[in-house]
Amino acid sequence: MDSDEDAVAGSAPSTTAKRRRGTEDGRTNNETARGSASTTPQDSLATAVVDAAYFNSYDELSVHALMLGDTSRVGAYAAAFRLGHAALHGRTVLDVGAGSGVLSLLAARLGGAARVYAVEAAPGMASLARRLAAANGLDGVVHVVQGRVEEVELPEQVDVIISEWMGFYLLHESMLEAVLAARNRWLRPGGIMLPSSARIWAVLAEAEGLRMELESYQCVHGLDLSAVAEAELDRRCREPAVELLESQRLLAQPLVAWECSDFRNLRCGATAELTVELSFVALRTGRAAALALWFDVGFTVPAENQPSGKQVVELSTGPGAPATHWKQTVVHLGCFVPVEAGDVLPVRLLLRQSEDNPRQYEITVESC
């Protein structure tokens, strides 16, 4: 970590796999194992352990209750299914990571799908999905398949793939890879993927609350507790915060850090490591202290009544949009850099999948 106040710099890992519950367990870049590129039995065992913990975490009902309570999330899928009824009606659908099966049920009820294969690895959730399908009279349409989508067998290819795979800052948990694997195995040529597109957004932001908290340790009843401030700042930089970011904390216009316009064309592994250089222009006086990340996704469905022949439903998780359970991810930089309106603030952002836990990402921010 570079705490030089002449530079905007910082480095931080991602949070752990339980994005829905907000559990955080950071790891610094220096703590990441850097073994050879070849796969060993130990590597396979470690991956299996990570995946087992990941799927076990999604077998907890509280995780799914949080997602079901996210009205923006569920509403975006419902809107896409309604608008895309003509494209979904009578078609076959694959739901990757179906969880409680609600999106599968909505695809059947609102989209008119003839068959929906709801693939879910967590046994408890797969059982609940079957019960919900029966309770809604859709057990003849929604077929729950327990297992990992990379391993299960379906009786046919599908016309549409749906999935709610997005993690914090879009990529956390690396579930996109499972969706792309399902696409390669099961999606018919010319099929539809929902969501269809995505963007990661970034912006420099203030952290005045943190700055004042740290300053308060300078003198406590005559005692110098600045070492506490240093330790707390180090902890904040090692553990990205998942929080609702007030719009007034933004110092510049948000910029697109990464974009995929069509998931049907994205190659597997394309998001394992992303490096982007961004040039922010400060819009006001302030102190740059963090880089905030969030995402939006688009659901593109055919629409004969539109001049473009399509219609897009957008789900945004950014500041100013209705709050979602994803909130925003705030990476603290380890410094509070004074800026004036018009200052150009170049930043290099690196998102790299962790080698010893592919469900996590290491996030590095530095000046360039």
CA distance 270 to 233: 33
CA distance 183 to 256: 26
Q: What is the CA radius of gyration of the chain?
A: 22
Q: What is the mean pLDDT of the segment spanning 193-217? A: 96
Q: What is the mean pLDDT of the segment spanning 129-146? A: 98
Q: Which of 122-126, 224-228, 283-287, 300-304 has the lowest mean pLDDT?
A: 300-304
HEC assignment per residue over the chain = CCCCCCCCCEEEECCCCCCCCCCCCCCCHHHCCCCCCCCCHHHHHHHHHHHHHHHHHCCCHHHHHHHHCCHHHHHHHHHHHHHCHHHHCCCEEEEECCCCCHHHHHHHHCCCCCEEEEEECCHHHHHHHHHHHHHCCCCCCEEEEECCCCCCCCCCCEEEEEECCCECCECCCCCHHHHHHHHHHHEEEEEEEECCEEEEEEEEECCHHHHHHHHCCCCECCECCHHHHHHHHHHHHHCCEEECCCHHHECECCEEEEEECCCCCCCCCCCCEEEEEEEEEECCCEEEEEEEEEEEEEEEEECCCCCCCEEEEEEECCCCCCCCCCCEEEEEEEEEEEECCCCEEEEEEEEEECCCCCCCEEEEEEEC
pLDDT digits 0-9 by tens, 341-354: 999 999 999 999 99
Phi, psi angle pair for 190, to nearest 5° = 80, 5
Look at residues 241, 252, 256 and name the one whose alpha carbon lies nearest to residue 200: 256
Higher pLDDT, 148 or 44: 148
Task: Examine the pLDDT at 199 and tell me if it is beyond 70.
Answer: yes
Predicted model pTM: 0.86
CATH superfamily placement of domain 1-28+197-368 = Hnrnp arginine n-methyltransferase1 (2.70.160.11)
Q: What is the mean pLDDT of the segment spanning 285-304? A: 95
- Looking at residue 72, its amino acid is S
Phi, psi angle pair for 256, to nearest 5° = -75, 120
The tally of CA atoms less than 13 A away on the side-chain side of residue 281 is: 1
Which residues are paired to 200 by β-bridges?
258, 295
Q: Strand 286-302 and strand 255-260: pairing?
A: unpaired
Look at residues 102, 89, 101 and name the one whose alpha carbon lies nearest to residue 159: 89
CA distance 317 to 251: 18
pLDDT-derived band of residue 43, with 50, 70 and 90 as boundaries?
low
Residue with tokens 């910029």: 255
CB 203 within 8 A of CB 251: yes
Higher pLDDT, 187 or 65: 187
257 sits in the region (left: phi over 0; alpha: psi -120 to 50; else beta) called alpha
Q: Count CB neighbours of 336 within 10 A.
A: 21
Q: What is the mean pLDDT of the segment spanning 203-219? A: 95
Catalytic residues: 164, 173
Q: Count CB neighbours of 35 within 10 A.
A: 11
In the chain, what percentage of residues exceed pLDDT 70?
Answer: 87
pLDDT digits 0-9 by tens, 84-133: 999 999 999 999 999 999 999 999 999 999 999 999 999 999 999 999 99
The pLDDT, as a whole number, for residue 3 is 34
Per-chain mean pLDDT for the chain: 87
The tally of CA atoms less than 13 A away on the side-chain side of residue 28 is: 9
Higher pLDDT, 5 or 73: 73
The pLDDT, as a whole number, for residue 206 is 98
CA distance 197 to 80: 13
pLDDT digits 0-9 by tens, 252-278: 999 999 999 999 999 999 999 999 999
